[in-house]
Amino acid sequence: MKQKYREELIWKHLDGLCTEAETNHLNNRIKTDPTFAKQIEQLKMLDNSIDKTVLQSAPIHLTNSILARVNQQPKIKPATFSLIPAMVVILILLATTVYFLPEASTPLSDYIPVDWNFLALNFKISQKYLPYIFGSFAAIALIWIDYFYTRKLSI
Amino acid sequence: MLDEDRIISLIIAKDQNAFKQLIDEYKDYVYSVILSIVKDVHQAEEATQDTFMKIFKRMAGFNKDSKLSTWMYRIAYRTGLDYLKKRKHHLSDVTKHQHISSSTDLERDLHQQSLLEFVKEFITNLPSEESTIMTLFYLNQRSIKEVQSATGLTETNIKTKLFRSRNSLRLKAKDFFNQENDLFL
């Protein structure tokens, strides 16, 4: 246990993490014990060797390879993905409005309450809203396709 | 020395010259971290490329809560681990073989190797996690916190593995120094 502590202390010393008291203790021992001083020197050599060894040289062509891959990226930026949830919300609001909107020509007194049985809808959507609804669906579909293929093509 | 803030802004704007500067500055560091994990130069090169591609794409997401280098090491570490997982079965066979052959080579050639070569071989033959911890520790000016931030491992775990690895190196180096007594009696 004592030896383990001593070894930890010496590595700490080599890492420059010792407190002042610990450093003084080690320095005194180094001064009075030549064997210990020699061992510390050897460990310093070992420590310096690790320092010099850990950094490996990457292949010379690495930078060019990475830049070549960057250039292969699709130039067209995908549509902003956050647009999609926003459009979905707009579409839901639009659909809800259309769903509850009575025909303009229908007098309020003749208004038929909504049948919640969705298998037997008894209302019709005004023709003038149809282009907007289909347009919204088409826009969402196009953004999805754009996003999907941009991701698929990207490296 | 890079002006990191400027480089980051330029890379977010997809400036390739700025990205080239970043690669030139950090490629050896990123490559070293990945090599310590995958232990194969070809895979390390491929994973380094992938890491820089991720850095290029994700630079806008770098929120400066850590140093740029630490953030890059984190991506490198995860990319390296992904590569390691992909070839897990293959690696187990290769590593076993390498370990057996290298340990016999190590003893036979110990006195013929320079100290640097000896240390390099020792680190290469350490298990991935230990060699990565040692690599990151020395690359980050011996900061445990930086290693922790890059790997997500606990401080105690890092300290224990670092101590064991260096102690094991010390014991093997005893032969190198041609000593009969242990270092640290």
pLDDT at B50 over 80: yes
pLDDT (0 to 100) of residue B98: 46
Whole-number pLDDT of residue B180: 47
Q: A74 or A13: whose pLDDT is higher? A: A13
Rounded Cα distance between B95 and B14, Å, is 40
The whole-number pLDDT of residue B30 equals: 95
pLDDT band, very low/low/confident/very high, at A82 (cuts 50, 70, 90): low
If you average pLDDT over residues B74-101, what whole number do you get? 70
Question: H/E/C letters for each residue in A99-134?
Answer: HHCCCCCCCHHHCCCCCCCHHHCCCCCCHHHHHHHH
Which of A9, A47, A53 should one mutate to test binding to chain B, selecting the residue with the greatest count of B CBs within 10 A? A53
In chain A, which residues have their Cβ closer than 8 Å to the Cβ of B30? 58
Q: What are phi and psi of A60, to 5 degrees?
A: -60, -40
Question: Hey, which of A118-132, B87-101, B148-162 has the most confident mean pLDDT?
Answer: B148-162
- Which residues on chain A are in Cβ contact (under 8 Å) with B183? 39, 42-43
> Which residue in the block uniquely carries the two structure tokens 């630079």?
B59
Of the ranges A10-24, A38-52, B34-48, the best mean pLDDT one: B34-48
- State residue A151's pLDDT score: 64
Q: What is the mean pLDDT of chain B?
A: 83
Q: B164 and chain A: CB distance < 8 Å anywhere?
A: no
Most A-contacting residue of B10, B32, B143 (CB-CB within 10 A), to test interface:
B32
Q: Which of B45, B56, B142 sits opposite A59 (nearest CB)?
A: B45
Do A71 and B56 touch, CB atoms closer than 8 A?
A: no
Percentage of chain A exceeding pLDDT 90: 11
Average predicted confidence (pLDDT) for chain A: 77
Q: What is the mean predicted confidence (pLDDT) over B116-123?
A: 88
Mean pLDDT, to the nearest integer, of A28-38? Answer: 88
- Quick check: B131 and B124 in contact, CB under 8 A? yes
* DSSP symbols for chain B: ---HHHHHHHHHTT-HHHHHHHHHHHHHHHHHHHHHHH--HHHHHHHHHHHHHHHHHHGGG--SSS-HHHHHHHHHHHHHHHHHHHTHHHHHHHHHHHHHHHHHHHHHHGGGS-HHHHHHHHHHHS-HHHHHHHHHHHHTTT-HHHHHHHH---HHHHHHHHHHHHHHHHHHHHHHTT-SSPS--
Cα B96 from Cα B136, distance rounded (Å): 24
Among residues A108, A54, A8, A61, the alpha carbon closest in space to that of B33 is found at: A54
**Residue B51: pLDDT above 90?**
yes
Distance from CA of B42 to the nearest CA of A (A): 10
Q: What domains can be seen in chain B, in order of their start residue?
A: 4-86 (1.10.1740.10), 89-176 (1.10.10)
Check if the interface score ipTM surpasses 0.85. no
pLDDT at residue A90 tops 70 = yes
How far is Cα A83 from Cα B7, in angstroms, rounded to an integer? 29
Q: Residue A92: its pLDDT value, please? A: 81
